[in-house]
Amino acid sequence: MKEAKLKFKPGNFEIINSGDNYKVGDVINFDESETGGGGVNAIVSEIKGKEIVNIESSSEFYDDAVFTWENGNQIRVKITPKHNLQNLDYVTISGFTTSLSELNGIEQIDVNLYSSVLTSSLPSSGIVTDIYVANIPENISIGSSIGIGTETLKVLNVYNGIIRVLRGNTVIS
């Protein structure tokens, strides 16, 4: 039950305790027992929010991102070798001109994560390595980057449950 305390004076009222979980348009129900009055009607017209004490933002630039039309309303963006974006992040897209300028702006993104399982252990050495996996995610192709542990690998070829990769792009976390 929502509860607020008001002090009523003819012509106006004073809010003593504003209560919680109200929204604009809520009807305020008054307990008129023991007041000697009645017929008070009120609707919440404004909400006082919590004080904002800190706003944080960060910028990362992906100058080599490749944009591909998926259908009339969806665009796939490929960022190699990797990115730090999370599902439902907001991003600012800029730099498009002429017929593609409609892509510029702030958008909330969907980040699809794909995974598979190694069917044999990952060799500890070798610049070009074959990785044996249970299934190859549909978005993996030549030129893609994949991550295993702290290592980022560039895909050289994909065939029959094997992903051939170029190693050497080690990332320390």
pLDDT-wise least confident of 26-35, 66-75, 115-124: 26-35
Tell me, yes or no, if the pTM score tops 0.85: no
* pLDDT for residue 88: 92
- Dihedral (C-alpha) 149, 154, 159, 160: value to the nearest 10 degrees? 0
Closest by CA position to 89, among listed 53, 69, 115, 62: 62
* pLDDT for residue 25: 87
Name the DSSP letter for residue 119: S
Mean pLDDT for all residues in the chain: 81
E runs forming strands in the chain: 5-9, 12-17, 27-28, 42-43, 66-71, 74-78, 90-93, 105-108, 128-132, 145-148, 151-159, 162-170
* pLDDT for residue 163: 94
pLDDT score of 151 more than 90: no
Over range 113-141, report the average pLDDT. 85
If you average pLDDT over each of 36-45, 81-90, 152-161, which comes out highest? 152-161
Chain centre distance of CA 102? 21
Over range 73-81, report the average pLDDT. 83
pLDDT score of 172 more than 60: no
Q: Which residues contact 59 (CB under 8 A, 6 or more apart)?
A: none
Which residue matches tokens 């307990």? 31
Q: pLDDT exceeding 70 applies to what percent of the chain?
A: 85
